[in-house]
Amino acid sequence: MAATYSELDERLIKFILNQPMFFVATAPCLASSGAGGHVNVSPKGYKDTFAVIDALTVAYLDLTGSGSETIAHLRQNGRITIMFCSFDRSPKILRIYGRGEVIMPDDPRWDSFAPHFPALRDGSVSFASLGDALDRGSQRAIIVVTADRISDSCGYAVPVMELVEERDLLARWAERKSAGELAAYRVKHNTTSIDGLPALT
C-alpha cells in the first residue's frame, strides 16, 4: 500500500501533473524546542502554477492572497510538505517532504525558474483572467521545494469527487486591480504571519 521513493519517476510526475489541486503544509518554530505557533495548511489550485523541475525539485507560483504563512514559515525554518490527493476512482495520496525556498520576482534566480511556468513563459493559461492577473503582477513568489522524502499512501478513505471547473475568483479579483494596488494589498495583508513572523517585507 504505502511506499517511499528516492526520486520522482515518470509515473509519479504524471500523477502530480494530472491533479487539479494540491495542499501545502508548513509550521513555525517559536521556541528553541521547535514548538509553538500555528501549523498552516493551504489548498492550491490552478494547474498552470505547478511545475516539476527535476527528479527531486518541484516549484509552484505563489499568487497574491489573504495570508502569507507559507512564506513566513519557509523564511524562518524552510520546512514544507506538499500533498497531492486523487479524488477519482483510483485512490492515491502522494507527499513530498522537503526544504522550501522563497524566490521573489527581484531575485536573480527568478529568471531561471519562471520558464517552467507556461503562464510566465508564453502566457498560456487555463483561463484568461489568470493571464490578466499575472500581467498585473499577482505573482508574489515562486516557491521551490527540494525533496528529502517522497512517499505515497492508499487514500482509501478519500471520497470520489468530480471536478466541475477551476474556480477563477482569485484571478478575477487580481485582474480588477492595478499592479500598484496589488503591491499595496501585499504591504497591508502579507507583511507578517499570524504569529508575527516576517513574510513579504
- Taking the C-alpha atoms of residue 75 and residue 129, their distance in angstroms, rounded to an integer, is 30
Q: Which residues are registered as beta bridge partners of 61?
A: 142
pLDDT of residue 128: 75
Domain count, the chain: 1
CA distances for 123 relative to 148, 182, 183, angstroms: 32, 20, 21
H or E stretch covering 25: strand 22-26
CA Rg value for the chain: 17
Asked if the model's pLDDT at residue 1 lies above 70, the reply is no
- Percent of the chain at pLDDT above 90? 80
- Residue 71, SS3 per DSSP: helix
Whether the pLDDT of residue 129 is over 80: the answer is no
Structural domain boundaries enclosing 177 = 3-156+166-189
Point out the least confidently predicted range of 21-30, 31-40, 159-168: 31-40
For range 59-68, the mean pLDDT: 95
Q: Is 20 helix (H, G, I), strand (E, B) or coil?
A: coil
Question: Would you say residue 180 lies in a domain?
Answer: yes
The CATH number given to whatever domain includes residue 128 is: 2.30.110.10
- pLDDT-derived band at 31, boundaries 50, 70, 90: confident
Mean pLDDT value across residues 158-181: 92
pLDDT band (50, 70, 90) for residue 6? very high
Q: Mind listing the pLDDT tens digit for each residue in 67-121?
A: 999 999 999 999 999 999 999 999 999 999 999 999 999 999 999 999 999 878 8
